[in-house]
């Protein structure tokens, strides 16, 4: 039988990678708290309609990428491909819509069946924030500022560019859609098969195509800004003014879109050139129509999500965990005493590795392999005299220390 391997598009998060992931999520969580966002978590699977209805029955995510199955009770279940729909479902089903505005932070795994590539997996992890119930453009500014501060706190902001665009209000969007249909219909023979289908259902999604032919055709398409009404222009002007006041640098990208109908007004992405062709590390926008699509009252919303794997590739090496103390018992009496001593040292705040077997030499080799700062040797003789041998593993020096002074002497070694 061949050796078992992880499923394609998944990975094991071994300690070093897990430390990087934790650095990203804990940093983001702390920044979100500064802005008053409380952490929440939704189930990793939902009824399929939670995602299919808002994302769109004909979208690539629903038709090609979702992990959907029938459970033992006959219900159609989907592993979450993104978390905004799940958060909105929670707001509605838990009766939170009466408590607006709501500010949520989340972190966790998502699932999409897509071609694995650098920093992108079929099981991947995201951090994200959702601000629900705020219609004012200040909400967009705050959400973008929060994302920018997360990137600053991670030490990667100077290698990432903020791109923003406006998708206008529904009236502007309808006018733009008509213009796109007219333009792309005149060049339909040049479009890929997928984009021809998108033309019938949602022409904005053509801009998401990675096909070179589609990109060439899209380059000559009408610009959204030419179809914005006065209200939509004013909203976007307030967003840009707010970013200017905060000193947040951005670049206008008129081709930046969100293809789903419930998106309105602001769309934005933080992008980098250091991760290959797929350079987006954080993306979001305003989704004023989503709650209504999911059966709730018309309620504004804005948020973003960021890939933990991709951010983890950009950050500096996180601080290593504290170097442990290796407890090395000698003889059966030492083994019994070491159990209690290990707990006493842990109570004092030390990371303690207590070997389970092996002679003195083997246990000391393990201590060196773990990078332990010190080894504490204790046997019958030491127990009888109320001491332990403390070995500095950096210098090799060894001294006897009274047991009641052991924690203080270990702390004095530092590092």
| 324-333 per-residue burial string, b: 16 or more CB within 10 A, e: under 16 | bbbbbbbeeb
Task: Rank 11-25, 53-67, 267-281 by mean pLDDT and report only the highest.
Answer: 11-25
Q: What is the structure's pLDDT at 193?
A: 86
**pLDDT digit string (tens) for 176-228?**
889 999 999 998 889 998 888 888 878 888 887 778 888 899 989 998 889 99
Q: Is 2 a residue whose pLDDT tops 60?
A: no
φ/ψ of residue 100, rounded to 5: -65, 150
Nearest to 324 by CA among 375, 391, 382: 375
- Average pLDDT score, the chain: 91
- How confident is the model at residue 62, as a pLDDT? 67
Query: What pLDDT score was predicted for residue 114?
Result: 83
pLDDT at 209: 79
**Residue 119, CA atoms < 13 Å, CB-side half-sphere:** 21
Residue 415 has pLDDT above 80, yes or no: no
Q: How far is CA 294 from CA 64, 85, 100, 262, 299, in A?
A: 22, 8, 17, 10, 11
> Any idea which residue has 């989340």 for tokens?
106
Bridge-based pairing state of the strands 352-354 and 374-378: unpaired
When mean pLDDT is compared over 58-62, 219-223, 285-289, the highest value belongs to: 285-289
The residue with greater pLDDT, 387 or 120, is 387
CA distance 9 to 255: 29
* Cβ-Cβ contacts under 8 Å for 147 (sequence gap 6 or more): 129, 270, 282, 284, 304, 306
* pLDDT of the residue at 234: 97
* Segments in 35-155 forming alpha helices (H): 48-55, 60, 84-93, 137-153
For position 363, what pLDDT does the model report? Answer: 87
Partners of 251 in the beta sheet? Answer: 163
pLDDT at 59 (0 to 100): 61
Confidence of residue 1 (pLDDT cuts 50, 70, 90): very low
Q: Locate tokens 């951010």: which residue?
A: 311
How does residue 60 score in pLDDT terms, banded at 50, 70 and 90? low
| pLDDT of 409 higher than 80 | yes
Predicted confidence (pLDDT) at residue 61 exceeds the cutoff of 80: no
Predicted pLDDT of residue 207? 84
- pTM reported for the whole predicted model: 0.88
* Structural domains of the chain, ranges and CATH numbers in brackets: 15-169+229-314 (3.30.930.10), 325-413 (3.40.50.800)
DSSP character string of 18-54: HHHHHHHHHHHHHHHHHTTPEE----SEEEHHHHHHH
CB of 264 closer than 8 Å to CB of 287:
yes
Least confident of 55-64, 342-351, 405-414: 55-64
Task: Reply yes or no on whether the pLDDT at 247 is more than 50.
Answer: yes
pLDDT at 392: 94
- High-pLDDT (> 90) share of the chain, %: 70
pLDDT band at 56 (very low <50, low <70, confident <90, very high): low
User: What pLDDT score was predicted for residue 228?
Assistant: 93
Task: Write the DSSP string, 178-202.
Answer: HHHHHHHHTTGGGS-HHHHHHHHH-
């Amino acid at each position: 039988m061949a050796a078992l391997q992880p499923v394609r598009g998944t990975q094991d998060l071994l300690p070093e990678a897990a430390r990087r992931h934790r650095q990203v999520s804990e940093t983001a969580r702390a920044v979100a708290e500064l802005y008053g966002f409380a952490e929440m978590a939704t189930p990793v699977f939902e009824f399929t309609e939670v995602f299919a209805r808002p994302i769109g029955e004909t979208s690539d995510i629903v038709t090609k990428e979702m992990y959907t199955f029938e459970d033992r009770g006959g219900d159609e279940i989907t592993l979450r491909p993104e978390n905004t729909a799940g958060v909105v479902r929670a707001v509605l089903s838990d009766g939170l819509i009466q408590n607006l505005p709501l500010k949520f932070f989340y972190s966790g795994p998502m699932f999409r069946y897509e071609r694995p590539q650098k920093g992108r997996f079929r099981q991947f992890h995201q951090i994200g924030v959702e601000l629900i119930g705020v219609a004012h453009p200040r909400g967009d500014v705050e959400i973008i500022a929060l994302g920018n501060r997360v990137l600053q706190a991670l030490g990667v902001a100077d290698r990432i560019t903020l791109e923003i665009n406006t998708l206008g209000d529904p009236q502007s969007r309808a006018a733009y859609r008509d213009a796109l249909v007219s333009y792309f219909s005149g060049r339909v023979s040049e479009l890929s098969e997928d984009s021809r289908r998108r033309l019938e259902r949602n022409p904005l999604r053509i801009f998401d195509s990675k096909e070179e032919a589609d990109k060439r055709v899209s380059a000559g398409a009408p610009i959204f800004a030419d179809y914005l009404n006065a209200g939509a222009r004013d909203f976007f002007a307030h967003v840009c003014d707010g970013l200017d006041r905060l000193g947040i640098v951005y670049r206008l990208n008129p081709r930046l879109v969100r293809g789903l109908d419930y998106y309105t007004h602001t769309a934005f992405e933080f992008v980098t050139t250091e991760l290959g062709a797929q350079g987006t590390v954080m993306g979001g926008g305003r989704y004023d129509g989503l709650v209504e699509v999911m059966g709730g009252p018309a309620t504004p919303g804005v948020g973003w999500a960021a890939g933990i794997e991709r951010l983890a590739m950009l950050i500096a090496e996180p601080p290593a965990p504290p170097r442990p103390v290796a407890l090395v018992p000698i003889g059966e009496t030492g083994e019994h005493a070491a159990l209690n001593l290990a707990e006493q040292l842990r109570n004092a705040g030390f990371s303690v590795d207590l070997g389970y077997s092996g002679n003195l030499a083997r246990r000391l080799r393990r201590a060196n392999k773990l990078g332990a700062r010190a080894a504490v040797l204790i046997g019958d003789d030491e127990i009888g005299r109320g001491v332990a041998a403390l070995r500095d593993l950096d210098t090799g020096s060894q001294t006897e220390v009274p047991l009641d002074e052991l924690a203080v002497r270990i702390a004095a070694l530092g590092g």
